[in-house]
Amino acid sequence: MNWQSYYKEHLVTAAEAVQKSLFEGANVVVGSGAAHIDCFIEEMYAQRDTIPFVNLFHVLYFGKGLYLTPEMEGKVRPIINFMERQGRNAFKEGRVDFLPCHFHEVPGLFKQGFYPVDLAVIQLSTPDAEGICSMGVSCDYTRAAIDHAQKVVGIINKQMPYLYGDTRVPVSRLDYIIEIDAPLVTVPQAPIGEIEATIGKYCASLIGDGATLQLGIGAIPDAVLNNLEDRKDLGIHTEMFTDGVMRLMKSGVINGRAKKLHPGKVVSAFTFGSQELYKFLDHNPDVEMHPVDYTNDPFIIGQHDNVVSINSCIEIDLYGQVTAESIGYSLFSGSGGQVDFVRGAKRSKGGVSIIAMPATAKEGTVSRIVPTLKEGSIVTTGRNEVDYIITEFGIARMRGCTMSERAKALISIAHPDFRAELEEAARKMIGYFK
């Protein structure tokens, strides 16, 4: 049977896919980010009175999130690895479970049977002439989900860009095929204010020609990229590809010539941004998407020279402990790939990792640099692994510094309104602080 005949034979509606693929207690994995699977979730919601109970795992979901609603309680047990707004609300109300795990270890949950995958529901591009689809904008953990699932529902989206790398999925791997023609979710760029612009300049001062970068989305990463127009031969090995990276690729600043692995290629695990970005990525030979257990593996990252990893956090204490996941007992996000790249950058010859953040929150009324993390806070990056901390007030190096030296450096980049109380706390906490 040729692939075209197979395709037609396995073509179903979303309603039929839900009816045929779900069974009691099934472990389901769904695509993440811009590659959401709303058409399938909407049918689960519509059939909520008759569908069996299932577990549903994902990392970051940009769809409508109907599976998180009170009406789906008792029908779906959402298991999330990274919180966003919809998930946070449902978690507080007891309808979501959370699975802590470094991002590069997520595929191992499926491979090693910690979360045996009964069903993977993944959005894909239209097949090429050989009957091969691309995972498009989200390769991350979906590669492992597809490879280890008992059954696969492929949602073929005519508007999903075809990306290269480890993204190939033959039509013959799909047990059920749904067709849609829907624009991908877009994420608007955050405005860059004076604070973010200053932080971006400080971060950029640590990036030299030929560096390989990892950064995410938001005002601070964009501000960093805005300050790199005069650099040469930058490379990208990251988990997330953004509009800012696209702009520097177009200008020639990012060309990957100095990379030790995949020279000349931008390597990422997933992407989201503008429609312009998705068009840029479609059949782009200079971009490769790879699974997150490759992109975020510290031992792979560390094979590049001069890696600069830039991430953010919620707060840091005077010991150098960083939380990027919770505000006290309130779970806010997840570790994502922060620790993966902190460790990878430290393994890199000439590498540095940066945690960049505004010095205050809540319109300047709360310091993000604190004596100790709030009670209940989750430590994301430990004090033994933290490297540079940057705010709009400067740069503080943690690696190689004693406790008293760290405290002094952190206080020097705190907002001036909070420095006196931080110094007082440091004297009580750290005997050698003078």
CATH number of the domain to which 286 belongs:
3.40.1080.20
Assigned domain for 91 exists: yes
Same domain, 167 and 271: no
Separation of alpha carbons 23 and 16, rounded Å: 13
Q: If 0-12 CB within 10 Å is exposed, 13-18 middle and 19+ buried, where does residue 192 land?
A: middle
What was the pLDDT predicted at 91? 87
Pick the last residue of a domain from 180, 205, 230. Answer: 180
**Residue 364, Cβ neighbours under 10 Å: how many?**
13
Phi/psi for 202 (5° steps) reads -60, -45
Assigned domain for 187 exists: no
Separation of alpha carbons 431 and 313, rounded Å: 27
Same domain, 420 and 295: yes
DSSP 231-290: --SBEEB-SEE-HHHHHHHHHTSB--TT-SSSTT-EEESEE-B-HHHHHHHTT-TTEEE-
What was the pLDDT predicted at 255? 98
Same domain, 323 and 398: yes
Same domain, 401 and 255: yes
Same domain, 270 and 315: yes
Same domain, 97 and 200: no
What was the pLDDT predicted at 358? 98
What was the pLDDT predicted at 432? 66
305-364 pLDDT tens trace: 999 999 999 999 999 999 999 999 988 888 899 999 999 999 999 999 999 999 999 999
Same domain, 264 and 396: yes
What was the pLDDT predicted at 217? 84
What was the pLDDT predicted at 433? 65
What was the pLDDT predicted at 431? 73
Sequence letter at residue 65:
G
Assigned domain for 289 exists: yes
Assigned domain for 186 exists: no
Separation of alpha carbons 354 and 413, rounded Å: 14
73 is catalytic: no
Residues of the chain with pLDDT under 50: none
Among the listed residues 239, 315, 325, 385, the single catalytic one is: 239
Q: Name the nearest CA neighbour of 245 among 281, 275, 210.
A: 281
Same domain, 207 and 70: no
User: Domain residues for 58?
Assistant: 3-180
Query: In 3-43, which ranges are E strands?
Result: 26-30
Assigned domain for 304 exists: yes
Assigned domain for 223 exists: yes
Domain count for the chain, please give it: 2
Separation of alpha carbons 88 and 71, rounded Å: 17
Assigned domain for 189 exists: no
Same domain, 174 and 291: no
* CATH number of the domain that residue 145 is part of: 3.40.1080.10
Separation of alpha carbons 44 and 61, rounded Å: 16
Same domain, 83 and 159: yes
Pick the last residue of a domain from 121, 153, 180. Answer: 180
Same domain, 115 and 245: no
Element (DSSP H or E) covering residue 132: strand 132-134
Same domain, 267 and 316: yes
25-47 pLDDT tens trace: 999 999 988 888 899 999 999 99
CA contacts within 13 A on the Cβ side of 396: 31
Answer whether 321's CB lies under 8 Å from 382's CB.
yes
Q: Over the range 298-318, which residues count as b (16 or more CB within 10 Å of their CB) and which as e?
A: bebbbbbbbbbbbbbbbbbbb
Assigned domain for 434 exists: no
Pick the last residue of a domain from 145, 180, 215. Answer: 180
